[in-house]
Amino acid sequence: MALPETSRFELTPDLKICRVLNGMWQVSGAHGHIDPARAVAEMFAYHDAGFTTWDLADHYGPAEDFVGEFRKSFANQHGAKRLPEIQAFTKWVPRPGPVSRGAVDQAIRISLSRMAVDALDLLQFHWWDYDDRSYLDALRHLADLQAEGLIKHLALTNFNTAHLRTIVESGIRIVSNQVQYSIVDRRPERRMAAYCAEHGIALLAYGTALGGLLSEKYFGRAEPRRAELNTASLQKYKQMIDAWGGWALFQTLLAVLRQIADKHRSTIANVGMRYVLDRPTVAGVIVGTRLGISQHLDDKPQIFGFALDAEDHAKIDAAIAGSRDLFQLIGDCGDEYR
């Protein structure tokens, strides 16, 4: 089925995205073997279903190469004039330390070559160590490359509000910040969302389905042992649930989400994603794609087929009322990585 117009978001006047982005972290390893030919073939299925926007990184294994092969195959089948239908957002994650213009130029040109593009749609920058203010030098070099036409738009990944403010006040135009955001992890609502709304910055949310834990598969189940959590995503988000309130409270939440999903003839994961999509400043949610291993193209379009009402929100608020404050436990968005 064709996705409705509400599935699209104008990130900038020249960049319209699907509000459910295909996340490619899961092709980088620790999520099962990915066959390159099957992966590229499946990218066509996602695109044809309307999910045209890809989130990746230079360090996500072969992700940039997959995008490059997909673009070449797409141009062969449909003509180069249709390539703008594809949006691919990569990341650059350098090691902390002095950053030269030459090093930045080299990194970006490698991504351009791997992805078979003349300019990156959106370059999302991450920096590990806030004490090393070389990140501002790196961003200024990236802004120079943007002025030269090699990068269309600059964005961030996992920056907290204080350091996002530092970057904005330095005069660098940031389009979006990618942060963890879910019914369980609502830290963006404390500071980040308000600052982004004030400065015209969108949020791209990941972890919204908790690596697959926010689903019928785990509803009514005993707490999984570590050996059962067989992907990096499952392990990561199980730790987040433990910090948030534990498995018993999570089951209470899943029960409520199941009721809401049944009401809207949808799924638990879709309710969780709809919840985040409706939050202020959220442009889209990133959903991991295990290309060639599993897909949920029958379920995902339903996200745009219903709306949560006041009763739904009241039930969700009641279900999470007893949870711990992750902002106090962990800090602002992205602070868990520093």
Average pLDDT over residues 67-94: 97
Number of domains within the chain:
1
Q: Rounded to 10 degrees, what is the CA torsion of 46, 18, 208, 39?
A: 20
- The pLDDT value given to residue 62: 94
- The pLDDT value given to residue 32: 58
Report the alpha-carbon distance of residue 215 to residue 65 in Å, rounded: 31
Number of Cβ within a 10 Å radius of residue 147: 9
Tell me: the pLDDT tens digits for 317-336?
A: 999 999 999 999 999 999 99
Nearest by Cα to 113 from 173, 151, 68: 68
**At 313, is the pLDDT very low, low, confident or very high (cuts 50, 70, 90)?**
very high
Report the alpha-carbon distance of residue 259 to residue 263 in Å, rounded: 6
Q: Which residues contact 38 (CB under 8 A, 6 or more apart)?
A: 291, 292
- The pLDDT value given to residue 1: 52
**At 232, is the pLDDT very low, low, confident or very high (cuts 50, 70, 90)?**
confident
Region of poorest pLDDT, from 26-30, 268-272, 292-296: 292-296
Amino acid letter for position 123: L
Question: Any idea which residue has 């987040």 for tokens?
Answer: 240
Q: Does residue 284 sit within a domain? A: yes
- The pLDDT value given to residue 27: 85
Q: Does residue 28 sit within a domain? A: yes
Nearest by Cα to 288 from 215, 201, 193, 196: 215
Q: Does residue 159 sit within a domain? A: yes
- The pLDDT value given to residue 2: 79
- The pLDDT value given to residue 158: 98
Tell me: the pLDDT tens digits for 118-169?
A: 999 999 999 999 999 999 999 999 999 999 999 999 999 999 999 999 999 9
Whole-prediction pTM:
0.95
- The pLDDT value given to residue 300: 80
Q: Does residue 66 sit within a domain? A: yes
- The pLDDT value given to residue 293: 58
Q: Does residue 312 sit within a domain? A: no
- The pLDDT value given to residue 109: 98
Report the alpha-carbon distance of residue 252 to residue 1 in Å, rounded: 33
Q: Does residue 135 sit within a domain? A: yes
Q: Cβ distance 126 to 157 under 8 Å? A: yes
Q: Which domain holds residue 22?
A: 5-212+272-305
Region of poorest pLDDT, from 133-137, 172-176, 203-207, 224-228: 224-228
pLDDT exceeds cutoff 90 at 210: yes
> 45-50 long-range contacts, Cβ below 8 Å, gap at least 24?
45/295, 45/297, 46/22, 46/289, 46/295, 46/297, 47/74, 47/85, 47/86, 49/3, 49/297, 49/300, 49/301, 50/2, 50/3, 50/7, 50/18, 50/301
- The pLDDT value given to residue 296: 64
What region, left, alpha or beta, does residue 146 occupy, with left being phi > 0 and alpha being psi -120 to 50 degrees? alpha
Q: Domain containing 289 — which CATH number?
A: 3.20.20.100
Average pLDDT over residues 84-91: 98
Q: Cβ distance 26 to 257 under 8 Å? A: no
- The pLDDT value given to residue 301: 84
Tell me: the pLDDT tens digits for 100-121?
A: 999 999 999 999 999 999 999 9
- The pLDDT value given to residue 29: 67
- The pLDDT value given to residue 291: 79
pLDDT exceeds cutoff 90 at 33: no
Average pLDDT over residues 209-237: 94
Q: Does residue 158 sit within a domain? A: yes
pLDDT exceeds cutoff 60 at 294: no
pLDDT exceeds cutoff 60 at 239: yes
Tell me: the pLDDT tens digits for 264-293?
A: 999 999 999 999 999 999 999 999 987 755
Q: Does residue 321 sit within a domain? A: no
